[in-house]
Chains A and B, each alone.
Chain A
Amino acid sequence: MRARLLHEFLPAGPDTKDPILEFSDVHLSFAGVKAIDGVSLSVHARQVFAIIGPNGAGKTSIFNCISGVYLPEQGSIRFLGRDLLGRKPNQVADLGVARTFQNIELFPQMTVLDNLMLGRHRHVQYGSVAAMLRIGKAAREEERNREVVEGIIEFLEIQQFRKAYVAMLPYGLQKRIELGRALAMEPVLLMLDEPVAGMNLEETEDMARFITDIRRELGIGIVLVEHDMRLVMDLADAVLAIDFGKPIALGTPAEIQSHPDVIRAYLGEDHATAGGATP
């Protein structure tokens, strides 16, 4: 029996030429400090969109605005044609936006399997009585949820860690589990906050492979915040560089790599070229 491809057990991304995420002229400030200063971007299905910039440039703030953690002062954020502003994080997640975090947000005292099953939370529709009795809809849904989760375990090659407690796993693996939990939510838009930070070469290559496979097999939109320039250059279809909350360049990886403002802001004055540098 061969492994299932992602679209064989998860819904594929929307078949549309329109952007799935439109983030227009967004402004956000904390105590008078501009965190996001007029950033616009749009993400399409089947696209990997990378956001780069120095530490504190406002990359994670963009994620937090999309997922409903922060409310911008100005601008609009639309997802599949719906306004996201004012929605709570759980409501945004219910619409199909899943994310991973810079500092891994899993339940460390629970097993890998349970963490992934929690990712199915928004797909649980039965009540607590049915759940206790494991009857009817509860049994069917539970089966379907387990099937999806097992498909993800197979995809991420983590069969041997199914019953392991997350706290016991090395950092690189925890990041992989977090990606799995986000996938379990059946996202239309997947936001990855520094997915390879702190990883060794092999773990980084694995993660790059997973991202490539997700894009190819599911065709959902992926937004990536990442410092590893090699990864960005390899994977991204479009790159937005920001500095102090301001957009400084938007283009293909090649265009961004040679953009003088990007080299200055992001890589420092000393760098003549940006190729392969990892600050």
Chain B
Amino acid sequence: MTATITPSGLVGTETPAAVLRRWAETRPEAVALREKRRGIWREITWAEYWDRVEVFAHALMERGIDVGDRVAIHSENRPEWVFTDIGSIAARAACVGLYPTNPTSEVEYLLENSGAAILIVEDQEQADKVLAIPAERLPALRTIVYIERRGVDEYDDTRLVSWDEFMDGGRAHRAAFPDAVLRRMADATLDDLCYLVYTSGTTGPPKGSMLTVRNLQFAGEVLQSDQGIVSPPPNPDDLLVSYLPLCHIYEKLFTVVFGIWVGAQIHFGESIDTLVADMRDVNPTVVQGVPRIWERIHASILVRLSSASRLKRINAAVWMKAADRVAATLDRTGGRHTIVTRVLGAIGHLLLFRALKDRVGLRRCRYAVSAAAPIAPEILRFFMGIGVPLHEAYGMTENAGIATRNAPGRIKIGTVGEAYPDTEVVLAPGTNEILTRHGGVFAGYWEMPEATAAAIDAEGWLHTGDVGEWVGDSHIRIVDRIKDIIITAGGKNISPSEIENSLKTSPFVKEAVVIGDRRKYLSALIGIDFDVVSEWAQRRRLAHTTYRDLSEKPEVVALIQKVVDETNARFARVEQIKKFGLFTKELDHEDGELTATQKVKRSIIETRFADEIEALYR
């Protein structure tokens, strides 16, 4: 411990931990994170952020975590999540995130597969899941750190240690070996494994995507550049709310990579149920969302408008027309404002739009992203019309979330936009599969060399598994997952997700699975949205009890038949649904029918509901 370590001489490789440490030196007192607890937003500065991360890394070293070991975390988004995330990277270990909704069986698979030595659990609920697994089935797991003490304090499993004690151990280690973490960071390489991000696996068991320092550095530099996603380029005054699952690449990209490289301020709300209130408090400038979130905000604004007083409704009708006009123009100009859209937008802002945006916390939003699933163009136009630049972007775990985005001024609605700078995106000849090649392409699947070889070819192209088509020469439209493409008995190629999405635009439909591979016609299994259909039934004095009971009502079947007819009218004959059945249970992650990100597992549906499907072809 004789060598003195100078900050500049130390940071050889730009890991997220090193970049964080630089912020702690250049802007120690500036706010990095805010967390709402007991009604108050509590600030964490960059200096404090680094302190927690460094202590966490020391705590890992104190417990014998070596370079390349895995540290898992099973929690909702909160500052401790990012301390774990970046603290692991500082100790040159890899962080594995588990979805809060993962049931015990999946927790076992993920811990066993990753061989995690330490698991951080949020509370009693998550602790109970891992403690339900016989210890001998998880030989690598030595320590379970629990953040919330309630209930878990009483348990006597010797692997348990509270977060506070764990961090105290880290502080003691730092006092004894002050530069142990810094030394380890100094040896970091671009090939260090940072994350195992498990892809939710609509087919087969989840695979751990290995993301390295090189991948994160590439993504960080792309996102912070003026050719990145936000324009004008992002800066430390940008405010974000972290609320999508942090174990998913999408939220990781914003909370960790964007947050750290840009130096933006990240906010953790009180709970997932308080999202709207938290958004209103923060008024974020950059908002990342999935279609379901944007649909919900859209619906809540419409409900408010329709329940307003008469005068307000008239005002709203006038200005929503203006918003339509603004959106139509922006659609044409690629998102560039004209004098007319500026004038309409400015007056509309004063008379209506500001009030609407205030209610949902979007008043200061200067760039909003929709990704992870296709979004209806009407939703994009709605938000663009009221002055929220909501655009689609595209990426996946295996390319660190970086492929294409709709850059402001160059947008094309219905596409996922164009490739980022220094990013190659092409369509494979013949199949039209989207291929990407850049520094963000992952290092492969954890201990699955065959799956890795199938994903990355000899020239370094990542095969995304998505089929795309060019719109103009620059923009890409996603057609479907390649393995989901249906080839009918007549030899026609059909994209089921387009038909499914069309069905799902009806508020009565929550899930839709189109079937027809090697069959003579298409059919569909449809799941109703219980709340909406139940309300519809109540208005018709249609007595009902359970989900099954409601789904089996002839009136409900007739209701869904109308939805199917409307969708059929939009598609060519071979793409029309001839027969459909209704699910008699709600599809659920715990029952294995949905992935953790709420995507339907087609293969499970096809086996579990085989009888129902056969009935549609009789």
Q: Which A residues fall within an 8 A CB radius of B?
A: 1-5, 146-147, 150-151, 153-154, 157, 159-160, 162, 213, 216-217
Contacts and interface: CB of A to CB of B under 8 A. Distances in A.
Across the A-B interface, the 7 shortest Cβ-Cβ residue pairs: A150-B38, A159-B270, A160-B273, A160-B274, A150-B39, A1-B37, A159-B274
B149 A1 contact: no
Interface string B66-109: 00000000000001000000000000000000000000000000
Contacts of B39: 146, 150, 153, 159, 162
Given A2-B163, A150-B39, A153-B38, A160 B277 contact: yes
Interface in B144-188: 147-151, 154, 163-164
Contacts of A154: 37-38
Given A151-B38, A162-B39, A217 B150 contact: yes
B562 interface: no
B271 A1 contact: no
Contacts of B164: 2
B42 interface: yes
Interface residues of B, number: 20
A1 B274 contact: no
A147 B271 CA distance: 19
A129 B271 CA distance: 38
Contacts of A162: 39
A206 to B, nearest CB: 12
B35 interface: yes
- Most chain A CB inside 10 Å of its own CB: which residue of B38, B42, B163, B271: B38
Nearest to B124: A209
Contacts, number: 41
Given A2-B163, A217-B150, A157 B38 contact: no
B346 to A, nearest CB: 32
27 contacts: A1-B35, A1-B42, A1-B79, A2-B147, A2-B149, A3-B148, A5-B150, A147-B38, A150-B38, A150-B39, A150-B40, A153-B38, A153-B39, A154-B37, A157-B271, A159-B39, A159-B270, A159-B273, A159-B274, A160-B270, A160-B271, A160-B273, A160-B274, A162-B39, A213-B151, A216-B151, A216-B154
Nearest to A154: B38
Contact of B150 (A151, A153, A160, A213): A213
Contacts of A1: 35, 37, 42, 79
A150 B36 CA distance: 12
A94 B423 CA distance: 70
A15 B269 CA distance: 38
A95 to B, nearest CB: 28
Contacts of A2: 147-149, 163-164
Interface of B: 35, 37-40, 42, 79, 147-151, 154, 163-164, 270-271, 273-274, 277
Contacts of A153: 38-39
Nearest to B274: A160
Given A1-B35, A150-B40, A160-B271, 7 more contacts: A3-B150, A151-B38, A159-B39, A159-B273, A160-B277, A213-B151, A217-B150
Contacts of A157: 271
Nearest to A147: B38
Nearest to B37: A1
A201 to B, nearest CB: 14
A23 B431 CA distance: 83
Contacts of B163: 2
Contacts of A4: 38
A216 B149 CA distance: 12
Nearest to A6: B150
B153 to A, nearest CB: 8
Contacts of A151: 38
- Most chain A CB inside 10 Å of its own CB: which residue of B35, B37, B150, B163: B150
Contacts of A216: 151, 154
Contacts of B154: 216
Nearest to A216: B154
A146 B35 CA distance: 18
A162 B37 CA distance: 13
Nearest to A213: B150
A4 B40 CA distance: 14
A160 B38 CA distance: 11
B577 to A, nearest CB: 36
B433 to A, nearest CB: 44
B580 to A, nearest CB: 32
A151 B38 CA distance: 6
B375 to A, nearest CB: 26
A103 to B, nearest CB: 27
A146 B39 CA distance: 9
Contact of A159 (B42, B148, B271): B271
Contacts of B38: 4, 147, 150-151, 153-154
B160 to A, nearest CB: 15
A25 B208 CA distance: 68
Contact of A5 (B35, B149, B277): B149
Nearest to B276: A160
Contacts of B35: 1
- Most chain B CB inside 10 Å of its own CB: which residue of A2, A157, A217: A2
Nearest to B147: A2
A254 to B, nearest CB: 22
Nearest to B38: A150
Contacts of B151: 213, 216
B122 to A, nearest CB: 9
- Most chain B CB inside 10 Å of its own CB: which residue of A4, A147, A159, A162: A159
A62 B163 CA distance: 45
Contacts of A159: 39, 270-271, 273-274
A203 to B, nearest CB: 15
Nearest to B277: A160
A147 B163 CA distance: 23
A169 B222 CA distance: 47
A217 B153 CA distance: 11
A264 B492 CA distance: 72
A5 B273 CA distance: 22
B34 to A, nearest CB: 11
Nearest to B39: A150
A10 to B, nearest CB: 14
A5 B148 CA distance: 9
Contacts of A5: 149-150
Nearest to B154: A216
A216 B154 CA distance: 10
A147 B39 CA distance: 9
A162 B410 CA distance: 43
A121 B312 CA distance: 41
Contacts of A217: 150
Contacts of B42: 1
Contacts of B149: 2, 5
